[in-house]
Amino acid sequence: MTDIQTEKLQKVLARAGFGSRREMETAISAGRVKVNGQVATLGDRIGLRDRVLLDDRPVNLRGVEEVPRRVIMYNKPEGELCTRKDPEGRRTVFERLPRLKGERWIAIGRLDINTSGLLLFTTDGELANRLMHPSHQIEREYAVRVMGDVQREHVVNMVEGVMLEDGPARFTDVQEFGGEGINTWFHVVIMEGRNREVRRLWESQGLTVSRLKRVRYGNIFLDKRAKAGEWSEMTQEEIDELSNMAGLEPRKVPELTPDEKNRWSRDKHKRRPVTAMKKPKRPRRDES
């Protein structure tokens, strides 16, 4: 393998499939990464010829073109955590996913324990980072059930923007989807994924979100392929759309090996008892 121009350490680790750039930055800050025998620090740059250890285990460094780009859609039920392991033993989303050999699933964004719906996972750390980065302005759409008397002024405030404790926030679109009282449903669109941002925007107006479900990420809609607690492999066309949104060249999805096909089939058909959230009816809407 020939060396290339040096890159930030966390970027190379994320591309190798060990987690998102943010997760790798945390690992570096915690002293878990060594480069050529020395403990790494944030800001270090490396090339493919450098020797890297993560938790004292060798890391197989790869160039951009060597990273397989697989993506799956997962329909997260309430009660699951978006973390690999939980000290309290609660169920995590990663327990549901198909197993990979020599790869790791990287979550494209997160949902809190009480939020259900669409999660995307990929083996390509660069794709994940770009789709999450605020500069790419990727839309996230949520179905929201709100408790309280929602007035027009509340909606106007949230669209024009309000100041939260971590900075200004706003919805780019709010549409009512029926119901009344404690069962009033809305669909909202937001351009970033800060912690509990959708809930906090409604709370800023004195309103409470009682149910929250993500139904769209960019051009990818949650559909019937994946019921609550199940995953579905994305098509080449869908992955190409995600790549284009992220400003990356499309790449052919690698064929599963016979062993991977068998394992994925077994994983997909495991019985997974979950309680699915009732989805509000969605009227047709012209696409711009």
Which residue blocks in the chain are alpha helix, DSSP H? 9-15, 21-29, 125-132, 152-160, 197-203, 236-245, 258-268
Residue 269: the pLDDT is 58
Partnered with residue 88 across adjacent β-strands are none
Residue 85: the pLDDT is 85
Q: How much of the chain exceeds pLDDT 70, in percent?
A: 86
Q: Which domains does the chain have, with CATH numbers?
A: 7-65 (3.10.290.10), 67-134+219-268 (3.30.2350.10), 139-217 (3.30.2350.10)
Q: Any idea which residues carry the catalytic annotation?
A: 112
Residue 165: closest CA among 212, 203, 129: 203
**Is pTM beyond 0.85 here?**
no
Residue 258: the pLDDT is 62
Mean pLDDT of the chain: 85
Distance (Å, whole) CA 15 – CA 130: 12
Q: Taking the CB of residue 122, how many other CB atoms lie within 10 A of it?
A: 24
- How do residues 26-58 score in pLDDT, each as one tens digit? 999 999 999 999 999 998 999 888 999 999 999
- How do residues 184-222 score in pLDDT, each as one tens digit? 899 999 998 888 999 999 999 999 999 999 999 999 999
Partnered with residue 52 across adjacent β-strands are 35
